[in-house]
Amino acid sequence: MTIQKLAGAILVGVPLLAHGQTAPDDLQAMTNRQIELEKQVREQDARIRELERLLKERLATDGAGGTTAVPVVQQAAATPAAQQVGTPAVPQAAAPAAASTAKSPTRGEEPAEQTAAPGAAPEYIGNLGFKIYEGDKGQIYMRLMAYARYLNQSGIDPTYTDSFGTVRTIDRREDFQLNKFFLPFSGWFLDPKFRYYLYVWSTNTAQGDPAQVVGAGNISYVMNSFATIGLGITSLPGVRSTEGQFPYWNGVDDRLMADEFFRPSYTTGMWLKGQFAPGVNYMAMLGNNMSTLGVSASQLDDTVDTWSVMLNWLPTTQEYGPLGAFGDFENHQELATRLGAHFTHSTEDRQQQPGTDSIENTQIRLTDGNVIFTPSLFGPGITVEKVQYQMASFDAGLKYKGYALEGEYYRRWLSDFVGPGVAAIDDITDDGYQLWASAMVLPSRLQAYVGLSEIFGDDFGDASELRFGFNYFPMAMRGLRLNGEWMILDNAPLGYTAFPYPVGANGDVIHVNFEYNF
């Protein structure tokens, strides 16, 4: 007999001993009370077992975490059943002790499962979505990420001049868009170690363009907390923002200039990820090319030499907020720190590049915005058909009591050019950095931030961005937010329709976003 059942028996038995006998109605009432207490105990036991199951899955799948949900389970065991009934799931901001720094469950990454609140029915878990099915043979979670944007580019110059003296016209925009729609399904089949992450993803700004609608995802096998092997589409871990923090960035679905310029993107490949020790996480990936979205298999070359590696260390708390998020929404009471290093290598050719406005566009550009594969860009008859891209980045960050300071440095090498006349092109080395400073002005409600980014080009010009922004969370959790940003740009070397500014932007851009993410 459990302690709870014994307590129930005592509640019934003590009055009987005290009075010697009890009226039948009273006896029946007390018997019913005992049955109800035992029912609550059984329900509590079932909830504890569910939390323990989620914890085991979390520990098995959290290949990049170094955190644990044990305190949550212990709290559930200690909470009276009557208090647990009807308790909503813990908001993502409410449990930094159980926060995960695992890979993002969005845009190509297997989700890191977050434990529900003590005693809550396992119907909703933040950033996994709603559990629509679970049985002995499998599990299905469904979630949604979408945002609407007002964009105003009227403050930028109507033309720009590249490093070759060519004057180009900028198509400035002012419009409203449901900028992105993302619907993933995740879970496991037959065994919790066999995971899947499949999704439909669309950007309305690219209506009619290739890859405007994407159906993609990946499958993986969780060997243990030290190793998960995966196959499918995911992000090359070449910079911090492609480790999997999306959508927990300071802005809504946009990066600072240097991050966007230097980073690799999403491709099809295979990977191994996990942790060497608590707080020491790694990922290594071998892929088809730098960006697969909008590129068919017939456009790929006949070699596989795109690879990327990542190592991060979380020395003080062995965590860095949910998904390793930017900013300190969680209000860390102990200093949280991270250090990260990344390296990416790829031989790219003209045929395997995405369109200039393709979803999640990434291309190899010079620092003046020109795509390096443009015919006769470097002179009459000179055309780059292949180039070797190598890029390293190093990042560091700290969070404390709602404040965060985070930065990253980038260096890119372009070499081994192939094509007519390319002997005249010297190897190209570019550098850049980004810095973020943010503060929760009102805990769980209002965040303010500033970002600075610069790119230093090798003979093809420099560029910079200064950004001021805010996030307002009306429900005091991450799932809903109103975001606004003011960007001050100098010769932007990148841009596409889903991004807030175009190639060559020089001047001011503002945009306002309202985001759903559950």
pLDDT tens-digit series, residues 430-441: 999 999 999 999
Structural element, H or E, at residue 420: none
Q: What pLDDT band is residue 406 in, cutting at 50, 70 and 90?
A: very high
pLDDT level of residue 30 (50, 70, 90 thresholds): low
What are the tens digits of pLDDT across the range 300-309? Answer: 777 788 999 9
Angstrom CA distances, 393 to 108, 262, 301, 332, stand at: 21, 9, 27, 26
Q: What is the pLDDT of residue 109?
A: 45
User: Which among 219, 246, 195, 216 is positioned nearest to 58, based on CA atoms?
Assistant: 195
pLDDT of residue 95: 33
Give the mean model confidence (pLDDT) for residues 359-366. 68
Domains, the chain, ordered by start = 124-505 (2.40.160.10)
Quick one: pLDDT at residue 83? 31
Is the per-residue pLDDT at 229 higher than 50? yes
Q: According to the model, what pLDDT value does residue 504 have? A: 95
User: Which distant-in-sequence residues (6+ apart) come within 8 Å of 291 by Cβ?
Assistant: 264, 265, 266, 267, 353, 354, 358, 360, 361, 362, 363
pLDDT tens digits, 239-260: 999 998 889 999 999 999 999 9
Kindly tell me if the per-residue pLDDT of 360 is higher than 70.
Answer: no
Instruction: Give the whole-angstrom CA distance, residue 369 versus residue 377.
Output: 12
pLDDT digits (tens, 9 = 90+) for 71-104: 333 333 333 333 332 323 333 333 333 333 334 3
Residues in the chain: 518
Residues 452-483: pLDDT tens digits? 999 999 889 999 999 999 999 999 999 899 99
* pLDDT tens, residue by residue, 313-327: 999 999 999 999 999
Which backbone phi and psi does 296 adopt, to 5 degrees?
-85, 165
